Amino acid sequence: MINRIRLSRKAIPAIMAGVALFLFGCLPGVIVKERASKDRSTVLNLYEAARKDLQAGQYEEALSAFKIILLEYPDFTRTPSVRYDMARAYYSMGDFHSAATEALKWLEAYPDNSIRGDMMLLLGDSYKAIGDWPEVFRWWLNAAREPSSEYQPEGRQEDIDLLIIDLINQSSSSDLKKMAEFGTNSVYVPNIYSRLASLSLKENRLDEAKDFAMLLVRSSREQQWVTIGRELLDEIYMAAARYEDMAGGRSVKIGCILPLSGPYALYGREILNGIQLGMDIFKESEGGQGLELIIRDTKGSTTDTVAGIEELVQKEKVMAIMGPLASATATAAVKKAQELGVPIITFTQKEGITREGDMVFRNYLTPSKEVEAVVNKSIKEMGMKRFGIFYPDNTYGRFMMNLFWDKVEKLGGQITAVESYKTDDTDFTDGIRKMVGLYYPRTESTIENLKRLKMIENEDVDTGKDMEDILDDEGEAFEDIDIDQYDAERSTRRGVEEGMEPIVDFDAVFIPDNYQQVALIAPQFPFNNIFNVPFLGTSLWLSDELLETAGSYIQGSIFPVGFFIDNESELVKGFVESYKNNFESEPTVLAANGYDTIRLIKDILSKNVIRSRIDFQKALSGNTFRGVTGEISFDSQGEVQKEPFLLTVYGREFHPLSRP
């Protein structure tokens, strides 16, 4: 700046001498050239330093310098290179979205630049890091068509060619179909169609495999591709013939993968008993003709489960798979089954399992279905509005408590009391008293409100306030109590002895626990002066032991089950009798679900021409079947559409409230 000021001062006499000399003389030209020369030298030095930072891995410093150059020297002749290097810096820093954004802007701004191919290659690399493989293919393909540059010398096309072929060989069917659109008339179309045909064949989508094989043959005149296409067509026709043989009754293989050893073996055996009974293997006249059951043991291990699925599909060539049971193994199994393109019907209760894909089905009632049935019955048909929840403080208890609460509020009901207990508790008095206001001491205003409530009940006195208002006042009164000032246990004991009455502001109590705990809990409600309040439960309640130990305390209770052994249906009676004759025990819900599932599969195979796994999957999606567990169909997500049986307790027996 000092030099500029001095030069300007020297120019003053020239200006005074004449305007013409000032306008057309050589001195200002010298100044401009000197300034431009210094600016160019400065920006070049800055750019070279930034590129060295980039090469040295100092990406943030390099990026800052590139941004300064673009801001301070917008007319810099190497701006395209600066912006290219800036995109490289973003990529090297792991900011792939910013790298892709800069690359797209660059390609729009400099459509004819000589390093256009380099930017396309970088854009493809960015999309690969992001995970958008069709876009990777698109930009690498474009880059392969561009000439070499200072950044990518001779031989770049050969390198890109290898990258694209490797990309195609790793891509899924859905990505390959998009690549085929981007690569129309390119040299890679045969690679794409070959891969698509092979994947479709592997996944038993035979019609689709045939279409892609034909496209492969037509896409190239090279003998190599024509030969590969014809070989694929031969394999497809052979596979179709095999499935036609199966449909003709020779033998269809169905896989069964269950825990037959390990901690869940007892449950796995129950399901297998039902499946074998449904296969008719115990009938000499039938013997399961036309259907072959291939069994694999998960051993309760996800590793063994995945290995078993692969063996059933790739070695045994099963049409479909049943199982497994536990959440962890079921998750691993359905992921692998979906990947291999084989329909799988699982018996797990894990919520959301069928979202893994269109090959995944579930034939087992979920907790959500059970709770929904109980709440619908209670609110819609029985007129209940207010509910208490008494739940175990464990994962299952908290999950069921929240599930019940959500379902009740969804139907306009209200949760008015919630208490938990420890799983090892045997005395539940404190929790029950808290639910009905007996645990904490009561204020004078609370007592007065209770007296007024008693008058309304016994004398029908019009106080100008309804019961809900009084109970609301009661709730406010509790909020004013300073618990620390009292000995709660002593006050509670005194209150009970003085005749304090419980505040029962719920129509029913939901207890999501097993029958052993319910047998301990139920008698303690009347012990604390809580009478005539029905309980609501889950399928874990179903046991004759509950009737024997606590039957008189759970009269009128409601709970759901997936299978009811005393159902009057002739179908159920026949199943129960046959099961007892063959296994010398009564069937459980697990056995019933296994029995229904294999009979459902047999029904599909008898009514449909099944040539492939995709045919089976489609038939399964559109089928309705009446089984011992109810009417079975599947929604668009693969979830079973059947309702649980609702049972109640009357006398010393369970009785059905509803039948699906």
Question: What average pLDDT does this structure show over 31-38?
Answer: 41
Using the predicted structure, report yes or no on whether residue 418 has a pLDDT greater than 90. yes
Q: Is the pLDDT of residue 440 over 60?
A: no
Residue 138 is classified by DSSP as H
Q: Give me the mean pLDDT over the 128-132 stretch.
A: 93
Contact by Cβ (8 Å): 62, 51: yes
- Least confident range of 8-12, 43-47, 204-208: 8-12
C-beta separation of 90 from 63 below 8 A: yes
Residue 412 has a pLDDT of: 96
- pLDDT at position 445: 53
pLDDT band at 448 (very low <50, low <70, confident <90, very high): low
pLDDT range class, residue 477, cuts 50, 70, 90? very low
Mean pLDDT of 300-307: 96
Residue 227 in tokens? 């030969």
- Identify each DSSP E strand in 305-436 by its residue range: 320-322, 344-346, 360-362, 386-392, 414-421
Which residues touch 280 (CB under 8 Å, ≥6 apart)?
Answer: 286, 287, 288
Predicted confidence band of residue 152 (pLDDT cuts 50, 70, 90): low
Highest mean pLDDT among 289-298, 630-639, 651-660: 630-639
Residues 272 and 252: their CA atoms lie apart, in Å, by 18
Average pLDDT over residues 458-465: 40
Average pLDDT over residues 107-123: 91
> Degrees (nearest 5) of the Cα angle 241, 247, 252?
95
The enclosing H or E element of 655 equals strand 653-658
**Is residue 39 helix, strand or coil?**
helix
Using the predicted structure, report yes or no on whether residue 137 has a pLDDT greater than 90.
yes
Residues 212 and 225: their CA atoms lie apart, in Å, by 12
Contacts 24+ apart (CB under 8 A), 86-89: 87/119, 87/122, 88/54, 88/122, 89/54, 89/59, 89/62, 89/63
Would 250-362+568-639 and 368-441+483-561 be classified into the same CATH topology?
yes
Instruction: Report yes or no: 523 and 497 within 8 Å, Cβ to Cβ.
Output: no
pLDDT tens string 244-290:
555 554 578 999 999 999 999 999 999 999 999 998 865 544 444 47
Among 228, 141, 146, CA closest to 186: 141
* Number of alpha carbons in the 13 Å side-chain half-sphere of residue 148: 9
* Res 17 pLDDT > 90: no
pLDDT at 332 > cutoff 90: yes
What's the rounded mean pLDDT across residues 104-117?
Answer: 91
Give the ranges where 56-115 is alpha helix by DSSP (H). Answer: 59-72, 79-93, 96-109
CATH class of the domain whose range is 250-362+568-639: alpha beta
**Mean of the per-residue pLDDT values for the chain?**
83
The full DSSP string for 509-526 is EE--S-HHHHHHHTTHHH
Q: Which residue has the tokens 């559409």?
A: 641
Lowest mean pLDDT among 120-124, 171-175, 226-230, 458-462: 458-462
pTM (2 d.p.): 0.59
Question: What are 626's strand-pairing partners?
Answer: 631
Tell me the two tokens of residue 277.
């009974």
Helix axes 96-109, 79-93, angle to 10 degrees: 160
Preceding omega of 263 cis (within 30 degrees of 0): no
For residue 397, how many other CB atoms are within 10 A of its CB? 20
**How confident is residue 218, by pLDDT bands cut at 50, 70 and 90?**
confident
CA within 13 Å, CB half, 550: 22
Q: Is 2 left (phi over 0), alpha (psi -120 to 50) or beta?
A: alpha
Label residue 136 exposed, middle or buried (CB < 10 Å: 0-12, 13-18, 19+): buried
Q: Could you name the CATH architecture of 368-441+483-561?
A: 3-Layer(aba) Sandwich (3.40)
Residue 390 token pair: 């008494």
Q: What pLDDT score does 466 carry?
A: 39
Q: What is the pLDDT of residues 585-619, one digit of tens each?
A: 999 999 999 999 999 999 998 888 787 888 899 99
- Tell me, what's the pLDDT at 185? 84
Q: Which of 570, 572, 555 lies closest to 645, judged by CA?
A: 572
Q: What is the pLDDT of residues 175-196, one digit of tens each?
A: 999 999 988 888 999 999 999 9
- Which pair of structure tokens corresponds to residue 14? 């020239």
Distance CA 331, CA 620 (A): 20
Domain ranges of the chain: 188-247, 250-362+568-639, 368-441+483-561, 451-480
CB 342 within 8 A of CB 318: yes
Outline where 529-588 has alpha helix (H).
Answer: 544-550, 570-583
For residue 154, what pLDDT band results from cuts at 50, 70 and 90?
Answer: low
> Which residues in 153-178 are b (16+ Cβ under 10 Å) and which e?
eeebeeebeebbeebbeebebebbeb
Q: Which residue has the higher pLDDT, 440 or 551?
A: 551
Number of residues assigned to the chain: 660
Model pLDDT, residue 3: 40
According to the model, what pLDDT value does residue 266 have? 93
Torsion of CA 597, 602, 607, 613, to 10 degrees: 80
In this prediction, residue 457 carries a pLDDT of 45
**106-112: average pLDDT:** 92
Q: Quick check: 330 pLDDT over 90?
A: yes
Give the range among 35-49, 248-262, 314-328, 532-546 with minimum mean pLDDT. 35-49
Query: Token pair for residue 16?
Result: 């005074």
Residues contacting residue 520 through CB under 8 Å, at least 6 positions apart:
426, 428, 550
Q: Which residues pair with 320 in a beta bridge?
A: 254
> Please, what is the end-to-end C-alpha distance for the chain in angstroms?
92
pLDDT score at 472:
39
pLDDT exceeds 90 at position 484: no
With beta carbons less than 8 A apart as the criterion, state whether 495 and 439 touch. Answer: no
